[in-house]
Amino acid sequence: MERRYVQCDRDKCTGCMICQFICSAAKEGSFNLERSRIHVIQTAPHSVTATACQFCRNHPCIKACPRDALRTDEATHTLKLDKARCAGCGCCIEACPFGAITLDDSTKSVIVCDLCFNQGQPRCIEACPQKALSLYVSRRQQ
């Protein structure tokens, strides 16, 4: 299955968090960095980068979910969450090697990048002033 995700060039990333502002605004309707699907993280003393769901081939999050709330969506190449099933247990958060899944405290369900599939290209890529973000697409077969 095709693998797609937002990738970040850490040499270009300045840590301005505009991607986080824009993501939370687009998805949650307010500027709330905690509820962003993409996060700026420090990788070394003088290195920052932004990470979002990398849509791993082996899907550790899906395997970890005890309630089968997560699945892959063939059409959009993203993870799909069944909110009714999600209990907010956080197993997927622990399993994610990129720290890309966040718990929404108010709804007790998890939030994860959906590549803004219904809005064309991901908003963060459009907004990044340093052009550090881009969409990675791979067609390698599993």
- Binding residues for another protein (CB under 8 A): 14-18, 21-22, 24-25, 28-35, 46-48, 126-127, 129-130
How far apart CA 80 and CA 70 sit, in angstroms, is 6
Smaller CB distance to another protein: residue 10 or 80? 10
For tokens 């803004």, name the residue. 116
Smaller CB distance to another protein: residue 76 or 102? 102
Shortest distance (Å) from residue 65 CB to another protein: 26
For residue 104, the SS3 value is strand
How far apart CA 53 and CA 78 sit, in angstroms, is 9
Shortest distance (Å) from residue 30 CB to another protein: 4
